[in-house]
Amino acid sequence: MSGGPILSTEAAIGAHTVGVVVDTPRHAAVDPVLDYLSEQPLAPGTLVRVPLGARDVPGIVWRSAGPSAAVLQTEPTDAPPDAPKRRLKSVAVALTALPPLSAEWCELLAFSAAYYQRSLGELALSVLPPELRKLDDVALARRLKRLAKAEDERPSRANGLADSASAAPELSAEQAGALAQVLAVLDAPGESAPSPMLLHGATGSGKTEVYLRAAAAALERGRQVLVLVPEINLTPQLHARFAARFPGHRLVSQHSALTPAQRLRQWLLAHTGEAELVLGTRLAVFAAMPRLGLIVVDEEHDASFKQQEGARYSARDLAVWRARQLKIPVLLGSATPSLETWAHAEAGRYRRLAMPGRIGGGVLPEVRLIDMGQLPRVPEGEERVLAPMLVAALKDRLGRGEQSLLLLNRRGFAPVLHCTACGWKSGCAHCSAWRVFHKGERTLRCHHCGFTEPVPRACPECGNLDIHGVGRGTEKLQEQLAELLPGARVARIDADSTRVAGSLEEQLGAVHEGEVDVLVGTQMIAKGHDFRRMTLVAAVNPDGALFSSDFRAAERLFALLMQAAGRAGRSAEQSTRSQMWIQTWHPRHPLYQALAAHDFERFAGQQLAERRQTGLPPYVHLALLRAEGKTRAAAVEFLDDARAHLPATLGPVRCYTPVPPTLARVADVERMQMLLESPSRPALQKVLAEWLALLPKLRTRHRALLRWAVDVDPQGI
Ligand code: ADP
Ligand code: ZN
Ligand code: ZN
């Protein structure tokens, strides 16, 4: 026997039994609330370490049963039910210096675990700071004392972004209208939960100012505020704005790029209520905040609010749940809301706050669709870099000292290398994907598994020397533009150009300083950045998404193009109206037509009608069972077995046969998936819960299976 001491019956008299949630794969199938003894009463929500097998593992007290009568109880092991009962072990460490996690927080965790079909312990330990596990009560108490009086290192000061308080500007009429509604909700007596609010504001309509005012109001009322943003890259800017506006308040960030020590510190500050503002990426939706009074989700449509591994939760959806639980307002902001959110607003379940105008009366850029099919042919053997009128427009901006942005959602020089003699292509040996030709680093690199080799001099199959890139990525476009626009300063921002820490900030800085004339980039630069001198944005080759098998591709493209367009013409002083150019072979496509009219409503209407007709979200709810194996057969066998073990009564739930995802093989792992759908969310949840209780046992029969996971409300199918 190892681990904690086993109490004798005598010693246990007066001890307390507590049910503790732990994370252990062995018990993953059922929610593992294991009973332990404690000499002191421990409130639910207390963090502990408890012996399990040969180790001490972290856990959360889930229930406390008072002074213990039942000292003898089984541990939930795999032992048969008639096995001799074992004595309870004692809690090894209890972090009583830390205020227990609130009942509301535990409820949020329980809901999330149940909804996304994960075990409580796994989810808890993935959302709490890992450092918390290492501390003992004494160390923790010391740390908390330091935090409480730490005037020294206020994070907003530490990074030097906020030196002076910024005065609040006078609100536009639209902003004032939107804010009034938020305030009304904030002050409404908390009888029932207020409807979530959709702040549907054009790019440049001043949504952030509404967030700031709403936050100010919540802070005045002594409440904490949680602001979620889609990307870490966007946090420094927003952090600076909030810090500047609220110099007297403590502001912390929570995202995955923090060091473990920082993460612990920021988490503790929020949990103890010392920090009044928490700003973070999706993980922050689980921030423990005892006085939470307002949640803001900026760019609520963004796909990165959905966690793509482990517990695949949607932070946006959980934010809405959390607000309802606490009966507090939640503000979802976007220029292009997700169709889920839009459908809620259309149905009157969400309150819509509309801000269609731009601050200072700035007009939205004029959208120009270039019909690529109508252009004169280029001579044989030559390549068209850009449509002639777009080139002319770029030169025009150059002459006026204005900036342009070219959007191309493909990095590298060419997406694939090709031999004209034998047809060889630069496939990845480990994935069902092409390796991308990176000219600068002279490599063929797989963007999925990282497999990289020097570019071959000749075709590896036939020795032919005439191998060349097919298609074009940002690297090539940058090179071509430099030739096309002599003297222009052409920069590129994408995942390749920004791999070194700090380089993104540096490159963005150069753009802001006016050191760049033409910026080439991927979707990375379409979001959030406020480029003052930018008067032209062009999408070089956006058509692919129109015919994608991904049912959200059109929605994403529309949002991306709207956002990109929003980078232009944000300064009202600009003499010329800014423009968004789109090179397309399908200028009459309804998506582009709606875009040209800046008509999100029309686009959303079209899309929702289509989704309704084809039975897709938000009209149907989906879940995917994903399986990964060394062979495709291994993955399929597991899924087939799982399918054979579906609950007898499925009701309105349908289960389809296994299919490979778009990217079927990655890093020598074969992937397959199986779709479940239902018009009824509760029906789907019921089936999943019943079914997933069986799957861990089933899994043991499939030795060649590597992993399986369920994805509720998947982003794609
Ligand atoms: P959005 O997030 O809706 O695209 P922002 O919040 O970034 O828009 O606002 C656009 C610009 O307008 C920012 O530079 C912001 O400081 C400025 N701004 C916002 N509200 C006002 C206002 N009421 N008066 C003057 N400037 C404002
Ligand atoms: Zn060849
Ligand atoms: Zn690969």
pLDDT (tens digit, 9 = 90+) per residue, 102-145? 999 999 999 999 999 988 888 998 999 988 888 888 888 888 88
Instruction: Report the range of poorest mean pLDDT among 79-93, 135-149, 698-712.
Output: 79-93
Q: How far is the CA of 463 from the centre of ligand 2 (A)?
A: 6
Map out the domains of the chain with their CATH numbers. 9-101 (no CATH), 141-360 (3.40.50.300), 362-412+472-610 (3.40.50.300), 414-471 (no CATH), 621-712 (3.30.70.360)
How far apart are alpha carbons 595 and 581 in whole angstroms?
11
Amino acid at residue number 321: W
Contact 397, 403 (CB under 8 A): yes
- The residue with greater pLDDT, 31 or 667, is 667
- The residue with greater pLDDT, 153 or 101, is 101
Structure tokens at 375: 């252009």
> Mean pLDDT score of the chain, rounded to an integer?
89
pLDDT over 60 (residue 74): no
The reply to whether ligand 1 has any atom less than 6 angstroms from the CB of 336 is no
- The residue with greater pLDDT, 578 or 473, is 473
CA-to-CA separations, 242 to 215, 284, 334, in angstroms, rounded: 9, 16, 19
Q: Which residue has the tokens 């063929």?
A: 444
Instruction: Give the ligand 1 atom nearest the CA of 241.
Output: 16
Q: How far is the CA of 685 from the centre of ligand 1 (A)?
A: 42
Contact 428, 451 (CB under 8 A): yes
pLDDT over 70 (residue 99): yes
**What residues have their beta carbon closer than 5 A to ion ligand 3?**
428, 430-431, 446, 448-449, 451
User: Considering the entire predicted model, what is its pTM?
Assistant: 0.91
The reply to whether ligand 1 has any atom less than 6 angstroms from the CB of 168 is no
- The residue with greater pLDDT, 87 or 545, is 545
The reply to whether ligand 1 has any atom less than 6 angstroms from the CB of 362 is no
The reply to whether ligand 1 has any atom less than 6 angstroms from the CB of 334 is no
Structure tokens at 54: 């040969």
Instruction: Give the ligand 1 atom nearest the CA of 203.
Output: 4
Which of 533, 589, 573 is closest to 561 using CA atoms? 589
Contact 564, 580 (CB under 8 A): yes
How far apart are alpha carbons 712 and 679 in whole angstroms?
14
Q: pLDDT category, 625, cuts 50, 70, 90?
A: very high
**The predicted structure's pLDDT at residue 525:** 84
Neighbours of 165 (CB within 10 A): 12
3-state secondary structure at position 151: coil
Q: Whose CA is nearest to atom 9 of ligand 1?
A: 206
Q: What is the mean pLDDT of residues 401-414?
A: 94
Which of 262, 21, 3, 23 is closest to 131 using CA atoms? 262
Amino acid at residue number 268: L
pLDDT (tens digit, 9 = 90+) per residue, 251-279? 999 888 889 989 999 999 999 999 999 99
Kind of pairing between the strands at 251-254 and 277-280: parallel
**The predicted structure's pLDDT at residue 217:** 96
Structure tokens at 619: 């009209």
**The predicted structure's pLDDT at residue 660:** 96
Instruction: Give the ligand 1 atom nearest the CA of 211.
Output: 6
pLDDT (tens digit, 9 = 90+) per residue, 444-488? 999 999 999 999 999 999 999 999 999 999 999 999 999 999 999
**The predicted structure's pLDDT at residue 8:** 46
3-state secondary structure at position 624: strand
Burial class (CB in 10 A: 0-12, 13-18, 19+), 413: buried
Q: Which ligand is nearest to the CA of 466?
A: 2
How far apart are alpha carbons 288 and 457 in whole angstroms?
57
- Ligand 1: residue of 199, 302, 359 to mutate (most ligand atoms within 8 A of CB) is 359
CA-to-CA separations, 262 to 251, 268, 415, in angstroms, rounded: 13, 10, 39
The neighbouring-strand residues paired with 434 are: 427
- Ligand 1: residue of 175, 199, 209 to mutate (most ligand atoms within 8 A of CB) is 209
Q: How far is the CA of 448 from the centre of ligand 2 (A)?
A: 24
Burial 540-560 (b: 16+ CB within 10 A, else e): bbbbebbeeeebbebbbbbbb
